[in-house]
Amino acid sequence: MARIDLVDLAHSYNGTDPESYALKPVTMTWRQGGAYALLGPSGCGKTTLLNLISGIVTPSRGKILFDGVDITPLSTQKRNIAQVFQFPVIYDTMTVGQNLAFPLKNRGVPRSEIDARVAEIARLLDLTPYLGRKATRLTADAKQKISLGRGLVRSDVAAVLFDEPLTVIDPELKWQLRSKLKALHRDLDLTMIYVTHDQTEALTFADTVVVMHDGRVVQSGTPAELFDKPAHTFVGYFIGSPGMNIVPAEVRGREARIDGHTIMLERGYDHLPAGAKIEIGVRPEFVEVASPAPGLLSANIERIDDLGRIQFARVRVGDVKFAAKVPAGFSSPSGAAGLRFDPAHVHVYADSRLVEGVA
Amino acid sequence: MDKTINQKAWFLVLPVFLVVAFSAILPLMTVVNYSMQDTFGNNQFFWNGVGWFKELLDPSSDLGSRFFASLWRNLFFSGVILAIEVPLGILVALSMPREGWQVAACLVTLALPLLIPWNVVGTIWQIFGRPDIGLLGYVLNGIGIDYNYVSNEFDAWATVIVMDVWHWTSLVALLCYAGLKSIPDAYYQAAQIDGASRWAVFTAIQLPKMNRVLLIAVLLRFMDSFMIYTEPFVVTGGGPGNSTTFVSIELVKIALGQFDLGKAAALSLVYNLIILIVCWIFYTVMTNAGTERREKQGVA
C-alpha cells in the first residue's frame, strides 16, 4: 500500500527524439487506496505507463516513487506490485489453489497464512469449488479470474495493475467481474490502476480516470469532470456517446461565430492566444434541435439516431456536422431545424486545449 | 440418403493401391516368405514354418542369444543417449539468445551436424578418435589417458555415445527452442510479478509448455537410436568383439555376412514389430495428451 508519484516520467522504445516517445513526460500522483483507470485508444502509451510502474519496462527518463522512496532502479520482484495481464496466465501443472498461492509461496509466506489468504481470495472470486482442480481444465474467464486472484492475493502490494483484464471475458460476465473488482477494491483497500480503451469500463470502475492520447496524459479527473469539462478536445469526443461536437469558430469576448451565426457564451474569452486554432466544444446533450426560428443556428437534419432513452439528431450547418438532442415530440418533415445551445456548457478550445473563460 | 453409387470410383484408388503394393506390401511379403523357409543356396528353399521365430525368441539358442544381446545393448544405448541428449538439448535451448543476429548464428551452427550424412559423421569420428593420427585420440593418449576405441570396450562405447550426442543434441535443442519461443512474454512477466525464481519459471512455465515438443524429440531420438547402423558400423564395425553390435548391425551380419536369409527375415519382422509397438505407444500418449487438453477446455 503506497502513494505512487511519477516524476517527469517518460519512455521511448527507440531513440531519444522527444517526438518518438511512447510515453511523453508525465508528473502525477496516485493516491493510496484509489481506483484509477487509464483510458485511451490503442497505442496511446497506457500499457507502457503501466509496465513502467510494474518495472517490466525501465523508463528512459524520470523517477517513480512509492511513498516517497525512489524505486525506479528496482526490479519487478522487489517492487512489491501486482499486475494482471490482458490474456490469462495460468501455471499449467498447478491446481487453482496452487496458482493462487504461487506469489505468496515465492515470497516465503508461512503456510498457514497462505492457506488463509488463498481461501479468502477464492471466496471473493467464487473460485472455492475449483481450488483442487487443475487450472488448465477451466474456461478462459475462469482462468482470468485466477489471474485476477493471483494479483489480489498479496495483501502488502503497493498497487494492483490491470492491463485490459476483461478483454477475453464475455460481455455478460464483464459486468459481474467489474462490479466484483469494485467490491474487492472497497474490501481490500488496495490501490488499483486499470488500463482500458473502453470508456464504460473506465467510468464505472474508477474514482479517477486518466485519459491518455498520443503518449500524453491529457486529463485526469472524476467521470463527471471528464464529461462536463473536457480539458482537451480528444477527451471531449473520446468520452461520451456520441462524442462532443467540436467545431471551428471565431470567438471574441462573450460571442462565438459559427457559419455567420452568433452564439452567446457564459464566460468571456478576451485573451485567446494569437494564431491558435480556436474551436468551441459542446456535448450533444446540451444542444437541442428546435423548429427554425430567428436567434437559433439554422441546420439541416440528416438523420435521427434513436438510442432508446434518448434521440440524437445528426445535423449539418454549412460544412460542419453536429449531433444534437431531440426533444420529445419534435418533428421536422422538411429537415430544417434550429439549434439551441446551453451557454453554460459551451467550452472554448485553443489548439485543442480548454481555455478557462472569465465570468 | 440420395448418395450416387458408382462402383467405377474404385478405379480412382487403383494407382495408390498399385504403388503401395509394389513399394511396401510385396517386399514385406517376400520377407515374410523368407522367414518361413531355409535355403542352402542354389535358390533351393525348404519350408521351416515358425522355426526361425522360435529360435529367435529362445535366448538359449545361438540366434536368440545374439538377438537378445544386441537388443539389450541397443536399448541401453538408446537410454543413455536420451538421458544425455534431452537434458543437454533443453539446457542449450534455454541458454540460446531470444533475439538479435545471434539467434540466426546459433540456429545455423546447431543445424550443421544435422546436415552431415551419417557415414561422414562416422568417418569424422573414426579418424578423430584414432590414437595415432586423430586429434582426440592423440591428445587423450598424450595427457596420459589410455584411449583406444578399437581394443577397449568402454572406449568404443564412449566414442559411439559422444558421437551420437554430437550429431543429434542439436535436434532436441532446436525442437525445445521452438517450444520456448512459442511461450508468450506475458508468462515471463507474470512470473516476475509473482516473484518466481529462475527454477520456478523453468518448472512452472517452460517445462510444461515444452512437453509436446519434448515428447516428439524423445520419440524421434528413440526411433533413430534404436535403428542406428551407419555411424557405429563405420567407427567400430560392431566391435571390439560384439560390444557395439546393435540390432541392425547384427541383422546385416546375419543377412549378408552369413547369408542366412530365413533367420535375417525373422529378425527383421520382429525388429519391425518392436518399432511399430513403440511408435504406437508414443502416438497414443501424444494424442491422449492432446484430447485431455481439449476436454479440459470444455469443462466448467
Domain count, chain B: 1
Do A137 and B300 lie within an 8 Å CB cutoff?
yes
Do A150 and B190 lie within an 8 Å CB cutoff?
yes
Smallest Cβ–Cβ distance between A106 and the set B196, B205, B296 belongs to: B196
Does residue A233 sit in the same domain as residue A252? no
Do A106 and B205 lie within an 8 Å CB cutoff?
no
Q: How far is the C-alpha of B191 from the C-alpha of A85, rounded, in Å?
A: 11
Read off the C-alpha cell for B219.
520419440
Read off the C-alpha cell for A161.
495493475
User: What CATH number has the domain bearing residue A134?
Assistant: 3.40.50.300
Task: Please report residues of B whose CB lies closer than 8 A to that of A142.
Answer: 300
**Does the residue B269 lie in any domain?**
yes
Smallest Cβ–Cβ distance between A137 and the set B200, B209, B299 belongs to: B299
**Does the residue B16 lie in any domain?**
no
Does residue A214 sit in the same domain as residue A265? no
pLDDT at B288 exceeding the cut of 80:
no
Ordered DSSP codes for A71-109: -TTS-HHHH--EEE-SS----TTSBHHHHHHHHHHHTT-
End-to-end CA distance of chain A: 42
- Residue A297 and residue A262 in contact, taking contact as beta carbons nearer than 8 Å: no
Smallest Cβ–Cβ distance between A83 and the set B193, B207, B208 belongs to: B193
Q: Does A99 touch chain B (CB under 8 A)?
A: no
Phi-psi region of B106 (alpha: psi -120 to 50; beta: other; left: phi over 0): alpha
User: What CATH number has the domain bearing residue B123?
Assistant: 1.10.3720.10
Does residue A38 sit in the same domain as residue A180? yes
Q: For residue A101, give the nearest of A129, A132, A80, A78 by alpha carbon.
A: A132
- Look at residue B86 in the predicted model and tell me its pLDDT: 94
Listed residues A185, A204, A238: the one ending a domain: A238
Residues shown for chain A? 359
Q: How far is the C-alpha of A317 from the C-alpha of A121, rounded, in Å?
A: 56
Smallest Cβ–Cβ distance between A56 and the set B192, B200, B293 belongs to: B192
CB atoms < 10 A from the CB of A359, how many? 6
Task: Please report residues of A whose CB lies closer than 8 A to that of B187.
Answer: 89
Smallest Cβ–Cβ distance between A103 and the set B195, B209, B297 belongs to: B195
Task: Please report residues of B whose CB lies closer than 8 A to that of A139.
Answer: 297, 299-300
- Look at residue B300 in the predicted model and tell me its pLDDT: 38
**Does the residue B45 lie in any domain?**
no
Do A83 and B190 lie within an 8 Å CB cutoff?
yes
CB atoms < 10 A from the CB of A342, how many? 14
Out of A280-289, A294-303, B14-23, B162-171, least confident range: A294-303
Does residue A209 sit in the same domain as residue A269? no
- DSSP letter at A155 equals T
Does residue A182 sit in the same domain as residue A133? yes
Does residue A28 sit in the same domain as residue A162? yes
Do A77 and B192 lie within an 8 Å CB cutoff?
yes
Task: Please report residues of A whose CB lies closer than 8 A to that of B196.
Answer: 102, 106
Task: Please report residues of A whose CB lies closer than 8 A to that of B296.
Answer: 134, 136-138
Task: Please report residues of A whose CB lies closer than 8 A to that of B186.
Answer: 85-87, 89
Smallest Cβ–Cβ distance between B194 and the set A55, A106, A142 belongs to: A106
pLDDT at B82 exceeding the cut of 90:
yes
- Look at residue B297 in the predicted model and tell me its pLDDT: 46
pLDDT at B2 exceeding the cut of 60:
yes
Read off the C-alpha cell for A200.
464504460
Structural domain span for residue A346: 245-355
Measure the CA angle with vertex A225, ends A220 and A226; round to 5°. 65
pLDDT at B111 exceeding the cut of 70:
yes
Pick the residue with more confidence: B43 or A249? A249
* Chain B interface residues (partner A, CB cutoff 8 A): 184, 186-187, 189-190, 192-197, 200, 203-205, 207-209, 293, 295-297, 299-300
Pick the residue with more confidence: A64 or B39? A64
Listed residues A177, A204, A238: the one ending a domain: A238
**Does the residue B41 lie in any domain?**
no
Residues shown for chain B? 300
User: Which residues, in sequence order, are bridge partners of residue A134?
Assistant: A95
Does residue A17 sit in the same domain as residue A44? yes
Nearest-CA distance A165 → chain B (Å): 12
Does residue A139 sit in the same domain as residue A22? yes
Instruction: Find the closest chain B residue to A149 by CA distance.
Output: B194
Smallest Cβ–Cβ distance between B296 and the set A86, A87, A136 belongs to: A136
Task: Please report residues of A whose CB lies closer than 8 A to that of B207.
Answer: 93
Does residue A310 sit in the same domain as residue A173? no
**Does the residue B5 lie in any domain?**
no
Q: How far is the C-alpha of B80 from the C-alpha of A261, rounded, in Å?
A: 90
Please report where in the chains the cell 527524439 appears, as a residue: A17
Read off the C-alpha cell for A342.
446551453
- Look at residue B293 in the predicted model and tell me its pLDDT: 52
pLDDT at B85 exceeding the cut of 90:
yes
Task: Please report residues of B whose CB lies closer than 8 A to that of A86.
Answer: 186
Q: Does A89 touch chain B (CB under 8 A)?
A: yes
Q: pLDDT-based confidence at B1, cuts 50/70/90? A: low
End-to-end CA distance of chain B: 38
Do B208 and A93 lie within an 8 Å CB cutoff?
yes
Task: Please report residues of B whose CB lies closer than 8 A to that of A76.
Answer: 189, 192-193
Could you tell me what percent of chain B has a pLDDT over 90?
25
Does residue A40 sit in the same domain as residue A150? yes
Domain count, chain A: 2
Does residue A159 sit in the same domain as residue A300? no
**Does the residue B143 lie in any domain?**
yes
Q: How far is the C-alpha of A178 from the C-alpha of B216, rounded, in Å?
A: 42
Task: Please report residues of B whose CB lies closer than 8 A to that of A55.
Answer: 192
> What residues of chain A, 26 to 65, have a C-beta less than 8 Å from chain B?
54-56
Interface probe with B: pick from A47, A89, A163, most Cβ of B within 10 Å: A89
Nearest-CA distance A62 → chain B (Å): 22
Out of A82-96, A208-222, B36-50, B118-132, least confident range: B36-50
Q: For residue B244, give the nearest of B26, B58, B70 by alpha carbon.
A: B70
3-state helix, strand, coil in chain B (%, to 5): 75, 0, 25
Q: How far is the C-alpha of A220 from the C-alpha of A217, rounded, in Å?
A: 7
Do A107 and B195 lie within an 8 Å CB cutoff?
yes
**Does the residue B20 lie in any domain?**
no
Q: How far is the C-alpha of B284 from the C-alpha of B280, rounded, in Å?
A: 6
- Look at residue B299 in the predicted model and tell me its pLDDT: 40
Do B204 and A77 lie within an 8 Å CB cutoff?
no
pLDDT at B211 exceeding the cut of 50:
yes
Provide the CB-side half-sphere exposure for A250 (13 A, CA): 6
Do A106 and B200 lie within an 8 Å CB cutoff?
yes
Does residue A138 sit in the same domain as residue A203? yes
Q: For residue A124, give the nearest of A175, A169, A174, A183 by alpha carbon.
A: A183
Structural domain span for residue B159: 61-294
Q: How far is the C-alpha of A191 from the C-alpha of A164, rounded, in Å?
A: 16
User: What CATH number has the domain bearing residue A341?
Assistant: 2.40.50.140
Burial class (CB in 10 A: 0-12, 13-18, 19+), A270: exposed
Q: Does A147 touch chain B (CB under 8 A)?
A: yes
Q: How far is the C-alpha of A261 from the C-alpha of A276, rounded, in Å?
A: 21
Strand extents, DSSP E, B13-156:
37-39, 45-47
Sequence-ordered alpha helix ranges (H) in chain A: 46-54, 76-79, 96-106, 111-124, 140-152, 171-188, 199-205, 223-228, 233-238
Listed residues A238, A254, A283: the one ending a domain: A238
pLDDT digits (tens, 9 = 90+) for A205-247: 888 899 988 888 888 888 888 888 888 888 888 888 888 888 8
**Does the residue B54 lie in any domain?**
no
Q: What is the pLDDT along chain A (359 residues), one digit of tens a residue?
A: 578 888 888 888 877 777 778 888 888 888 888 888 888 888 788 888 888 888 888 888 888 888 888 888 888 888 888 888 888 888 888 888 888 888 888 888 888 889 888 988 888 888 888 888 888 878 888 888 888 888 888 888 888 888 888 887 888 888 888 888 888 888 878 888 889 888 888 888 888 899 988 888 888 888 888 888 888 888 888 888 888 888 888 888 888 888 778 888 888 888 788 788 888 888 888 888 888 887 788 888 888 888 888 888 888 888 888 888 888 878 777 888 888 888 888 888 888 888 887 87
